[in-house]
Structure 1
Amino acid sequence: MTKPKLLITGATGFTGIHACHHFHQAGYEVIGVSRQPSKIESDQIRIETCDLTNKNELTDLIQKNKPDRVLHLAGQNHVPSSWTNPVASLEINTMSTAYLLEAIRQQVPECKTLVVGSALQYDVNDITTLNHPYSLSKTLQVLIAQSWELLYEMNIVIVKPSNLIGPGKSNGVCSLLALKVAEMELLGAEKVLRVNNLLASRDFLDVRDAVFGYEILFNKGRSGSIHDMTTGLSRYLKEVTSSLQAISSVSFTVESVEDKLEVKVSTPPSDLLIENMQALIPFEKSVEDILNYQRNLLI
């Protein structure tokens, strides 16, 4: 039986590396796409270099590889950068998605595409819910994917994960805090962990669970469907720092710039994950794996 050919954009990013390894182990022929020449720790995962904002490069990429499935992870996902250069965020997150879907439509219209959006989208019916240019770019990305599915009857599924955490190179708050703790342990850094707001609240989902969910969507997701992928449990950042304190080899204090209570938003956990997995990776296990990853970087 021929292996399904899966093209993963953003293959060398935080989620992309996990996705490449997961789908390779699941029996897919994986082709990773990166803007810069890169390698992944597997000789069987081929990396193609392509600037997704270059329509011609992207068309050539799809024509050359003719994938059966596409996992679109690439994008600009740093909120502060979207304030500094909002047009770049729009170009990377919206136009690259349009170019990609159009290349698929022209070259392999039967291909199933999973577009990964963001839980930080705003309500298009209420512009006052727009918080930053990143939110605008991800909202438009999803609208583009919905439009190509509707207008051209393409097989497109959309997923919006919550805050992804786990081992790997990430600019997320859990990874940044774990790095500070690892520096205390191994480099003798000041034994103080400073946080903007310990009472800020987030729904944290392990990236490995998210990638497993993406595989489920490839197998069971209906075209045109949109899936929120969450644990259903919001946590204060204080829970992150407390978990780090519990497993660190050194004692440290935690300081908060402000303690502004954010209301925890209760959402039902993703049926997609609960119905198909015995249990999500426990939050404490995710934090431990993140800290071990950061320790290994400093050894």
Structure 2
Amino acid sequence: MNQQGKLIITGANGFTGRHACAHFLKSGFDITAVSRKKLNIEGKIHAESCDLTNGNDVNNLIKRTKPQYLLHLAGQNHVGESWLEPVSTLEANTMSTAYLIDALRKQSPACKIVIVGSALQIDPISISSIPHPYSLSKTLQVLIAKSWAVLYNMDIIIAKPSNLIGPGLSNGVCSILAKKIAEMEKMGTETVLEVDNPNVQRDFLDVRDAVRAYDLLLRRGQSGETYDVASGTNRSLEDIIEGYRTVTTGEIKVNSQRNDLIENKMAINPIKLVNLGWKPSIPLESSLMDILAFHRELKEKC
């Protein structure tokens, strides 16, 4: 058995999941990569297909693998889809978590668990202000995880990431913009980006820095705690577009609906992670360059 122990990564075929598999393989973990469809993954990683909304399948998975660590990344993470399919979103984000941690309670109770929530989850006391079914599903996910930690004395930690960016297939705004720029570069035409409000602000963090944070939480995170995983700095969409202007030779124009609206959001403070010894290491400019390089490469293969 590998020195670092047996680790299950769910959602291994996703944007963060693929970065997590690469990182934890280098870190010396014995990895089981779980996705709905079995993966072809490079390196010494065991791939498992499992429908996490099926309790029997989840129980059998945990019974076979008996992990010492779990990084739960799987789920439905599209707000628009949650409006169309609220029940399946609840199944994907809430019931999958319940099935996983309860199977671990039965089969591998000493497993250390990191559940990756969302910056869009809310305090359950404020349920009347919930913005969409996705937020509900992530709020309930965290509530279930924290409840199992208390009721069954399980070692469960909540990671609450901000907007993760970086190279790879992603539905995030930075990836969407980079894909459009790469398309226009290849066609040799002017790049026109359609955005609703360029003044909207978000905390953007490179996914590779987030994965390092999850690694630290698996090793040193305190059970029952919630850790914000963020850069601690808000950036507007205009800042992102300006960043792309510095790394492309073509002209970028912006069409917006509400460019007179300025949004000021309170910055997310990752102080609890910083106190464990973590800090972001990849500047926004480097992230944007890597994202654009990824999409340029994809366009060259087309």
Category of TM-score, reference length = shorter chain = over 0.9
What pairs with 1:110-121 in structure 2 (closer than 5 Å)?
110-121=110-121
Aligned twin of 1:140: 140
Aligned length: 298
After TM superposition, give the deviation of residue 269 of structure 1 in Å.
3.6
Q: Percent identity?
A: 51
| Residue type of the alignment partner of 2:230 | T
Aligned twin of 1:200: 200
Asked whether the 8 Å contact 1:8–1:32 carries over to 2, the reply is yes
Separation in 2 of the partners of 1:2 and 1:89?
A: 35
What pairs with 1:1-299 in structure 2 (closer than 5 Å)?
2-3=2-3, 4-40=5-41, 42-188=42-188, 190-259=190-259, 260-273=261-274, 276-277=277-278, 279-299=280-300
Could you list the runs of 5+ residues in structure 2 that have no partner in the other structure? none
Instruction: Please give the root-mean-square deviation of Cα atoms over the aligned residues, in Å.
Output: 1.4
- CA deviation map 1:192-211 (0-9, x unaligned): 11111101110001100010
Separation in 2 of the partners of 1:274 and 1:284?
A: 25
Asked whether the 8 Å contact 1:229–1:270 carries over to 2, the reply is no
| Residue type of the alignment partner of 1:232 | G
Q: Could you state the TM-score of these two structures normalised by the residue count of structure 2?
A: 0.95
Separation in 1 of the partners of 2:186 and 2:40?
A: 28
Separation in 2 of the partners of 1:268 and 1:112?
A: 24
Separation in 2 of the partners of 1:273 and 1:22?
A: 20
Asked whether the 8 Å contact 2:13–2:39 carries over to 1, the reply is yes
Could you list the runs of 5+ residues in structure 1 that have no partner in the other structure? none
Q: Could you state the TM-score of these two structures normalised by the residue count of structure 1?
A: 0.96
Separation in 2 of the partners of 1:240 and 1:177?
A: 9
Instruction: Decide whether aligned partners of structure 1 residues 177 and 229 sit closer, same or farther in structure 2, where only a CA change above 3 A counts.
Output: same
Asked whether the 8 Å contact 1:233–1:269 carries over to 2, the reply is no
Separation in 1 of the partners of 2:280 and 2:142?
A: 29
Asked whether the 8 Å contact 1:123–1:130 carries over to 2, the reply is no
- CA deviation map 1:121-143 (0-9, x unaligned): 12212223211100000000000
Separation in 1 of the partners of 2:189 and 2:151?
A: 56
